Amino acid sequence: MGALIETVMGDITKVTDVEAIVNAANNSLLGGGGVDGAIHHAAGPELLKECAGLHGCKTGQAKLTGAYRLPCKYVIHTVGPIWHGGDSGEPEDLRNAYHNSLQVASDHGIRRIAFPSISTGVYHYPLEKAARIAVKTVKEFCEANPGQFDVVRFVLFNERTLKAYEDVLSA
């Protein structure tokens, strides 16, 4: 049986039934706005200290830390691309952010993972394009690696984002 890929509206920092959440981080991994700031705030100062020792993260790559005060075990930090019109490698970088996050989870035996909508906030990636890449990448990874995940959940922060992901998932 393959992974259950699902969407919910909510706050990713409050998800209690996954082993890891994915942080849409910036290259420094030292906190920022949006999901990144919320995750750092909820996890507490220990997360910032651990992230400082990782020496940043390149766009499209992913790194694992503990979750500290969050209700899961791990945070997988990935850096999505800043939207510059789509001709500067943004689609490939976004695919890599999802793929590499799943690979890090798989490498660490994580079977239940939650993603935000990477790059669609302050990085201005067009929502519908990002949702297509996210869902396609997750489906392809799960098909190529059967049995690796029980649940891959997109935890989305508003109705518009939820609808964009649900439309792609049901297509």
Secondary structure of 29-95 as H, E, C letters: CCCCCHHHHHHHHHHCHHHHHHHHCCCCCCCCCEEEEECCCCCCCEEEEEECCCCCCCCCCHHHHHH
**Do the Cβ atoms of 46 and 138 come closer than 8 Å?**
no
Q: How far is CA 64 from CA 73, 110, 114, 169, in A?
A: 10, 11, 14, 27
**Do the Cβ atoms of 99 and 88 come closer than 8 Å?**
no
The residue among 133, 136, 138, 130 whose CA lies nearest residue 161 is 130
Is 36 tagged catalytic?
A: yes
Catalytic residue among 17, 36, 87, 167: 36
Within 10 Å of residue 61's Cβ, how many Cβ atoms? 17
Q: Name the CA dihedral angle for 8, 126, 135, 68, rounded to a multiple of 10 degrees.
A: -60
Which residues are catalytically annotated? 36
